[in-house]
Structure 1
Amino acid sequence: MARKKKSKVGMWWEDVQKRMKKLNKKKAISFLKAEVPHLHHQEKKQTIEVEFNHSSVAKATAIAALTILFFVFLYYIGGILLLFFIAFLFAAALDPLVDFLEAHKIPRFLGMLLVYLVLFFFVGLFVSKVAGLVADQVVAIAQNINGAVINDNVNLEGIPFGKQLEPYMREFVDAVDIQSAAVQVQNVFSFLSDQVVSISIGLFNTLIVLILAFFMVVEERFIDDFFLTIFPSRYGSYVSTRMAAVKDNVGLWLRGQFLVSVIATILSYIGLALMGVNYALTLALISGVGMTIPVVGRFFAWVPTVLIVASQSPELAFWMSIYYLIIQQFENNLIVPYVMNRAVGLNPIVIIFALMVGGQFLPVLGWVLAIPVATTIAIFVKDFTRKGKEV
């Protein structure tokens, strides 16, 4: 018959008995008093460990299941959350204007209505005066671009290193299907007319965003009450405070981004018009829209612009590129440090990474929303790392 293995407690008791035999009665009693609590501690520790193992498995399973359900839930309501986040950004940009009007004895409700009226007035003015002209120029570009960029009779002598660049330029043009590009541009308006349902949904979503932003601005404690409701009391106050910081930083960034885009549009139009570039207004607007994308926006705006200007004159395209480079240096050294970096304070590498991730999810809107999302995450990450250092 196999010998039964002794437990740790049994082995401990045998050891105590052996040691007590070597002691007198008084010392044995003292020794026993010292060892009995140790025994109680060992038994309690073993019991706790068994209970902890069972509970940890149950907790881990529950957490995993809840996490999966949470992400599935987010997947289905992702579009709704996106609308709320865009409304939050829009409200953050307009909030200081309403605060200014409120300081001059205008109620927030009326102040927000006034801001919307001014905004709609300028949008309507742009559509009535500028959009038609831009549409005509886009059609003209599409009609004239085919075969007009660079052909066999091109003369690059007016450009520095033009003769050296000419073979590479010819290679580039041969690789570009200009005719296909022209057809695609001409089909833009017919494509839009066929997308009535998509346009209607877009207009409805825009209306929802405007309504949400309106109430977010008018109801000052909307965001605070929202987070205090969905989070426990000990976390709700913290999240509410940090989201207020997010609102301030993102609002400053959006206003700065708008300022940079307007300045880029004006400077681009002045330079292109003085150089005699055709379609100067459309190209300037392309530059302004491109500047809504941080870091790489100017390059994205330059690529179509230089191709269109090259169809008029390669030499003009060269000098236009130099002018755009000067504008970029002006913006990067004077405007961006004061407005953009103060608002977000993100490393350029982080910005580029955020743009790549945003573009992966939403090719256009993702680029615009990437920085606000990265700013939001950065604020909470800084708090987390700061607490880690304090510990």
Structure 2
Amino acid sequence: MRSSAFLYPWDVLGDPEAPARIADLGVRQVTLASAYHSTRALTPRHPSHRIVTAEYAAVLYPPGEQLWQGRELRPYPAGSWAPGDAFGRAAEALAAAGLDIHSWVVLAHNSRLGAEHPATSVVNAYGDRYPWAPCIAQPRVRSYLVALAAEAAVRPGASGTELESCGWYGLAHLHAHDKIAGVALDDTAQYLMSLCFCGSCGEGYAEVGLDSQELMERVRGALEPVWRGGPVGASGAELLAATLEFRARTARTLQESAVAAVRGRARAGFRVLLHADPAAHHCGPNTGVDPAHILGVADGVVVPCTGGAGLLEPFAANGARRAVLAANFTVVSGMGGRPGVLAEDAARAVSLGATELRLYHAGLASDADLEAVRRSGVVG
């Protein structure tokens, strides 16, 4: 089964043994970050460092001035953690080891964008802005994300791409030192706390017959019992259903535009996958989608399977026969992964329709975790 390991450019650059180490896992492909959010990452085998701090969301290559000239919103080049064409240099080294390269593009997740352009951010029913979450209903945000998708995906040396966060982002996000776990939020509460009330979203709600101000008040009312330790009010499910038409349509059209922009820039045969969740109301890196729709737009999906492979089933049931259905497994034990039972987990995923595997994340994993992946015998 075709397998791909996720990597950052800094896992490779400055470590001449990294390409061969990855190839020795048995994988045929690397999914290499070309546009990524802020992070602090471990590099347990690098000869020069152990921790890399990516201070803000950035592209890991030089952005094209002609594409971005005159645009208010534009990508930020990386700092010292990935200077210059870090993606290109890492891709070249990995290709020399016989590995196929796909770009890994994070879209609607950018704290620096939200800090410098606060009006672009999701704003919740209480008026709180989420600077990490650009509102995908805003035309200027959509234009920026579509252009970024095309440029960051189609990099020299890449034969395909995986688009992460190509949809709504919301409350559930590790942001700096998070202190939001004091009150448990169920699925509906998470959704209500992720609804946006910017001007563009207000116009969208009006299109489906909802008054933004009234909706805001109803959302607060439904959430009030939650802050006292109780369940979401009875109206919570009704509010979810009432707003989902607009939200899902907004995400679908962004996905269509992003995929079309990538294909318009790429050569024939360039594969475009989306990190996806089959529940349309879910927010985050694995954005909520309509399985039947997305498999008619992209070449396939990458589905989170570390907690179980059940999310594959709706995709397998909706036209995945000729689409890529990649089961994504965390193989870092310290991050909740189970590399020791990867063979069993992969077999279950295949039984539910998986056609490929993804391994998150070869740069972060310990030697013991990588050895467990190697011994599993399922990568290829």
Q: Do they fold alike, i.e. is TM over 0.5? A: no
Larger strand proportion, structure 1 or 2?
Answer: 2
Larger helix proportion, structure 1 or 2?
Answer: 1
Structure having the higher Rg: 1
